[in-house]
Amino acid sequence: MKIDEIFSVKNKVAVVTGGSRGIGEMIASAYLANGARVYITSRKADICDAKAIELSERYDAQCISLPSDLSSVEGIDSFVRDVESLEESIDILVNNAGAAWAEPIDKFTERGWDKVMDLNVKSVFFSTQKFLPLLRKSASQDDPARVINIGSIDGIGTPVFETYPYSASKASVHHMTRVLAARLVKENILVNAIAPGPFPSDMLGAAVEHNYEGIISRNPVHRMGRAEDVGGLAIYLSSKAGSYTVGETITCDGGTISSSGHDLSE
């Protein structure tokens, strides 16, 4: 029952989509700091490449950049082929890449709806599907492979902003997690989800003009999420400590959902 054994991800191979910033970067950093090799991807090649170099140097570990657009199956196929050319198997897949779009209900566009649903829902399913051959190669009953889907508390409660497809997409991710878990546990692949609350990010920052004071004041623990919060949870779900946790959506929100509701802004 030693910490460095039951929570170990040393020598694991992880893929973190949307790993160049925000929560994806936080999770990738947690893996790298604890001895895993990590592949990150994002649409912007220069940013993704620079972040991989930065994280490799910071943690004296291997962070590899494979820029990709995961909003289409063609882009997912290309990304998986890139990983397959470098690895015979992977141990962990974190489906984190996502998008948000806010517009008033009377003006909400099909373009915004499709962009969010394609990246937040379709890509989660097809990324998992396409990576199954590599996950199966590492999976065993003693040490299952892992899939971690990043949902949101907006998929559980009512969001503050008018981000209709975002909340719908994250609710879909939570339920898809349960469905995938029931199917893939038979192959020693464990699927769970994390539903983060407010963390500093470009996505949330743009909505509040990077002024988090109002969010902090409403949060039961009176702060934003930290890298250790979501990174530690990802390590738990990826290690022996989490090997009996299957099909769960775990909130990581400072008590936001359990303590208060949300109302759409007028």
Residues 6+ apart with CB under 8 A from 173: 95, 120, 121, 124, 149, 150, 151, 155, 193
59 is catalytic: no
Full DSSP string of the chain: --HHHHT--TT-EEEEETTTSHHHHHHHHHHHHTT-EEEEE-S-HHHHHHHHHHHHHHHTS-EEE----TTSHHHHHHHHHHHHTT-S--SEEEE---------GGG--HHHHHHHHIIIIIHHHHHHHHHHHHHHHH--SSS-EEEEEE--GGGTS--SS--HHHHHHHHHHHHHHHHHHHHHGGGTEEEEEEEE-----HHHHHHTTT--HHHHHHSTTSS---HHHHHHHHHHHHSGGGTT--S-EEEESTTHHHH-------
Query: How far apart, in whole angstroms, are the C-alpha atoms of residue 135 and residue 48?
Result: 24
Q: Of the listed 166, 212, 236, 244, which one is catalytic?
A: 166
Cite the active site residues. 166
